[in-house]
Amino acid sequence: MNSIFANRISDVPRSFIREILKVALDHSVISFAGGLPNRELFPVEEIKKATNKVFEIYGSDIFQYSNSEGYSGLREMIAGRYFEKRKLKIPIENILITNGSQQGLDLLGKILVNKGEGVIIEEPGYLGAIQAFSIFKPTFYPVAVTGEGMSIKRLKSVMSSTKPKLMYTVPNFQNPSGISYSEKNRYEIADILENTSTLLIEDDPYGDLQYSGTCKPSFKTILPKNTVLLGSFSKTIIPGFRLGWIVAPDNIMEKLIIAKQASDLHTSHFTQCIIYQYLKDNDLEAHISKIREVYGIQLKAMLDSIKRYFPEEVSFTHPQGGMFLWVTLPENTSSRELLDLAIRDKVIFVPGEPFYVHWHQTNTLRLNFSCVDEETIQVGIQKLGNAIKQLLI
């Protein structure tokens, strides 16, 4: 019966993470498996106030069909913040509101990727991007991401052997590894892509969640012609509204609007207006500072606990921001086997395999620190350390 489906759907991996999340429903389990922002930091009261104000101000207009580009007030706010924080001048005509950055990936895949065309992807990389692009049947070219960023050697080799349509990057506090591309790495990448037709997608959901180190330049600044920038309110305000955006050059934007219209006409005008009102009446920077403080403390607790409880032969990344860190077990061990041991001890994480284009057993794993408090982190990491020791016996 499978033959009735389009070829494109057969290659899309179902999210492994969601399957693990089902185990996480048991409240006695300590979960480092999630990929969620911490709900205790959601500005519930402020959103409630903004919502009531929206009802007062807009009346029934708020419920009518709206334009595919998105609410102009919200797009102005986004443009304003890019200028204020990043000195990036972006006309609102170059901003399209999407249902989270995930839809940005879907729309870019739709308008750009013909079957078999090249898409460069980080390895390990964001599972949702692999899923979104898989629909359009590209040829994936994985490029290793390590402490400094993308492997320049591998990137040069890919770029010299083929002309990829897209290159997908999460240069700040990447999911799953937590690493950021160094400034040097960014300029090297820009040099390689300049004067090519490869479009670089800079997906930046975590950029605001920086706890140490300095802010690195955006590809939008150093490779403006080839860069499409994706942003999101999911990690800084709330994820449930599904509100993100794409910043793209004119010619790309024109096609994106057509694709958005064909996909779902437009993103909910109501939730766009609520976020606009929230941004108007509240200090987003103060709110983000609060998130940074909490996540920063939790990251430190996780790093300290890992140093204390994990065997020395285990290595791990030292993120300066974001929500994840990445652990590498000794060679020839399996993080899937570790998960089996850990589940018995009621602690879970995501093994590394779904973050590779071609899933395979690995000795790597992802730990999330945004949703677990300091004390639970210490208990959970100690348990996980014990499980690793059992695995290594």
Residues in region 87-106 near its own copies by CB under 8 A = 98-100, 102-103, 106
Report the C-alpha gap between 160 and 10 in whole angstroms: 30
Ranges of beta strands (E only) in the chain are 30-31, 95-98, 118-123, 139-146, 149-150, 166-169, 199-203, 227-232, 244-247, 315-316, 324-328, 347-348, 350-351, 364-368
**Residues 148-177, interacting with its own copies (CB under 8 A):** 165
Taking the CA atoms of residue 279, residue 285, residue 286 and residue 291 in that order, the dihedral angle to the nearest 10 degrees is 100
Q: How far is the CB of 197 from its own copies (least distance, A)?
A: 6
- Closer to its own copies by CB, 262 or 392: give it: 262
Q: In whole angstroms, how close is the CB of 214 to its own copies at the nearest point?
A: 30
> Per CB under 8 A, does 341 bind its own copies?
no
> 167 is written with which tokens?
């290159």
State which of residues 24, 92, 152, 258 lies at the interface with its own copies (CB under 8 A): 258
Nearer to its own copies, 271 or 362 (CB): 271
Q: Is 128 a binder of its own copies (CB under 8 A)?
A: yes
Determine, following the binding rule CB under 8 A, whether residue 115 of this chain makes contact with its own copies: yes
Question: Of these, 240, 289, 313, 361, which contacts its own copies (CB under 8 A)?
Answer: 240
Among 23, 62, 92, 144, binds its own copies (CB under 8 A): 62
Concatenate the DSSP letters of all residues of 228-294 into one string.
EEEEESTTTT-STT--EEEE--HHHHHHHHHHHHHHHSS--HHHHHHHHHHHHHS-HHHHHHHHHHH
For CA atoms 361, 174, 375, 315, give the dihedral sign. positive
Of residues 224, 21, 35, 201, the one with CA closest to residue 129: 201
Please select the residue that binds its own copies; options are 25, 27, 60, 331, rule is CB under 8 A: 60
Q: Does 52 bind its own copies (CB under 8 A)?
A: yes
Single out the residue of 53, 156, 255, 389 in contact with its own copies (rule: CB under 8 A).
Answer: 255
Minimum separation from the CB atom of position 180 to its own copies (A): 24
User: Minimal distance in Å, beta carbon 228 to its own copies?
Assistant: 12
